[in-house]
Amino acid sequence: MTTGNDQAAGARPTRRLFRSIRDILFENTADTPAQVSSNVISNTVGVVPAASDVDAARGVLRAAIEAQLGAGIREFSLQNEALSDVLPDVTVRRQAALRVLALKGTTREHLCAELEQALGTLTAQGDSFARKLHDRREALGANRQSSLQRCTEETTAAEQTSARLRTELDAQRALISEAQARLEQELAAAETSLAELGLREQAFQRAFQEVEGEYVALKTQLSRESL
């Protein structure tokens, strides 16, 4: 997928080519920087796009521009290419091509008008891409914000549930502690009662044996006396 840097990278070499041709046509030797639309300048710094993406973007841009090139610029390109072997100097070669076109009735102004039209197409392509890029970034930003909000809401709900569960767990642990304390008290009370019951049993057994012994002894005495 191409990026904003890819489109801008493909556009710059093509624009430089058109500017150099236009400067020759106008015989402009001043080094005046070109005005580039701010819409096609990427905010990404220090990121190098993939060469394949740059090539793809360049191909799209060139195809769009070449479709808008007039007959004059096409003829100029053919003449310039035909003279490349005999005139290696670029400036001399282009001036010669201009003279050939002038003989055919094609003026510098006409060529410049065609170049301006082509540059307008390039600018339109850049602006169109910038709008699409802006819309995509807006959509991604909205999705990001939505994801952050959803995550915040879910996290808050989970934290509230966790706090409620901790409170309930603490309450259950308190109930367990109370039950264990109550059990220990009841077991201690039962042990005390059992100990007291044992002592009462021993007292009863001793008293029983004493009383029983007395009556047995008395019975024995009475039986002997009657004899």
Residue 176 predicted with pLDDT over 90:
yes
Residue 65 lies in a domain: yes
Please tell me the least confidently modeled range out of 45-54, 183-192, 210-219. 45-54
Express each pLDDT in 183-192 by its tens digit: 999 999 999 9
pLDDT-based confidence at residue 87 (cuts at 50, 70, 90): confident
Residue 201 lies in a domain: no
Residue 39 lies in a domain: yes
Residue 93 lies in a domain: yes
Residue 128 lies in a domain: yes
Q: Total domain count for the chain?
A: 1
Residue 145 lies in a domain: yes
Mean pLDDT taken over the chain: 80
Q: What is the pLDDT of residue 72?
A: 84
Mean pLDDT calculated for residue range 30-54? 58
pLDDT-based confidence at residue 7 (cuts at 50, 70, 90): very low
Q: Write out the residue range of the structural domain in which residue 92 sits.
A: 4-150
Express each pLDDT in 104-141 by its tens digit: 888 888 888 888 888 888 888 889 889 999 999 999 99
Mean pLDDT calculated for residue range 213-226? 84
Residue 85 lies in a domain: yes
Residue 91 lies in a domain: yes
H, E, C per residue of the chain: CCCHHHHHHHHHHHHHHHHHHHHHHHCCCCCCCCCCCHHHCCCCCCCCCCHHHHHHHHHHHHHHHHCCCCHHHHHHHHHHHHCCCCCCCHHHHHHHHHHHHHHCCCCHHHHHHHHHHHHHHHHHHHHHHHHHHHHHHHHHHHHHHHHHHHHHHHHHHHHHHHHHHHHHHHHHHHHHHHHHHHHHHHHHHHHHHHHHHHHHHHHHHHHHHHHHHHHHHHHHHHHHHHC
Q: What is the pLDDT of residue 43?
A: 52
